[in-house]
Amino acid sequence: MDFALEDKGALGLNLSKDADFVLEKFIDASKARHAELDSASHTKEIPNQVRNDNLLAKQRGFTLAEVLITLGIIGVVAALTIPTLMQKYHKSVIESKLKETASMLQNAYELSEVDYGLNHIREGFEANNPDKAMEMFEKYYIPYIKFIEVKKGEKGVFGLLANGAEIYFRRTDFDGGDNWATTYIIFCENDKVCKEINENATSNTFSNNKNSFLLYTDGCRDGVWAMYNHTRETNLERCAIKEGAESCTALIIENSWHFPDDYPIKF
């Protein structure tokens, strides 16, 4: 009986040791597995962290230096292109007004020709006399053209048109005497330009050929006679030296009412 009890005690002790051993092995295996999982998780996080860092870098935007460089480039491009664009626009405004004004004058001539007969505009009136110029203007122009304002100058008449342009009507005693051939109409882009006209100047210096141009009142269908009396080469030469201001106008008319690329006067 005692032997049996001792055997049972020994057996229980052995079983207890075996259980402890198994438990220890299980704990070791569990720790090893957790270590593997932690290692794998850390390995996977590295690419994610890299991607997150790259995303944050992209979301941070431009640096101050990059912004300043970009603004500098934009400024240089604007400085080079805006003046050219403004000049082209200014030229187009002048071209449009000049063509429209010449058309108005031509239409007035043709209508008044019906009322007063051929070459009526060539009738004589005293040169450099604003009162006589106003009489002619009231008879041959005002009834056929819409003016915003008409006023006398020192030696001629100024008429402000509905399109914003202004004309200066004047008979001079230059260029061979007091006759129809010395009667001029000067086109001005606006009234401010016409105010700059020196009424004591000669006929060839009334206009600056940039935003004011010389026209004639003798009824030429295209506004000026220079395009009929001179070649284009001659008109280029005359315009360049301001020998004949009507030649500058002729160059524009011949180019379908646009400044030609080789227009000799620079803006």
Tell whether 221 and 96 lie within a shared domain.
Answer: yes
Predicted confidence at residue 18, as pLDDT, reads 54
Number of structural domains in the chain: 2
Tell whether 209 and 110 lie within a shared domain.
Answer: yes
Q: Which of 10, 34, 59 is the last residue of a domain?
A: 59
Asked if the structure places residue 77 within a domain, the reply is no
Asked if the structure places residue 212 within a domain, the reply is yes
Predicted confidence at residue 149, as pLDDT, reads 96
Tell whether 113 and 166 lie within a shared domain.
Answer: yes
Tell whether 30 and 101 lie within a shared domain.
Answer: no
Q: How far apart are CA 92 and CA 86, in angstroms?
A: 10
Q: Which of 43, 59, 75 is the last residue of a domain?
A: 59
Tell whether 23 and 125 lie within a shared domain.
Answer: no
Tell whether 43 and 131 lie within a shared domain.
Answer: no
Question: Which regions of the chain are under pLDDT 70?
Answer: 1-61, 118-124, 174-182, 203-204, 217-226
Asked if the structure places residue 31 within a domain, the reply is yes
Tell whether 121 and 183 lie within a shared domain.
Answer: yes
Tell whether 27 and 109 lie within a shared domain.
Answer: no
Asked if the structure places residue 66 within a domain, the reply is no
Tell whether 115 and 186 lie within a shared domain.
Answer: yes
Domain that holds residue 52: 1-59
Q: At what angle do helices 64-116 and 130-140 cross, to 10 degrees?
A: 80
Predicted confidence at residue 89, as pLDDT, reads 93
Asked if the structure places residue 78 within a domain, the reply is no
Asked if the structure places residue 260 within a domain, the reply is no
Q: How far apart are CA 253 and CA 90, in angstroms?
A: 17
Asked if the structure places residue 119 within a domain, the reply is yes
Predicted confidence at residue 34, as pLDDT, reads 52
Tell whether 116 and 52 lie within a shared domain.
Answer: no
Tell whether 168 and 236 lie within a shared domain.
Answer: yes
Asked if the structure places residue 70 within a domain, the reply is no
Tell whether 119 and 191 lie within a shared domain.
Answer: yes
**What mean pLDDT value characterizes the chain?**
78
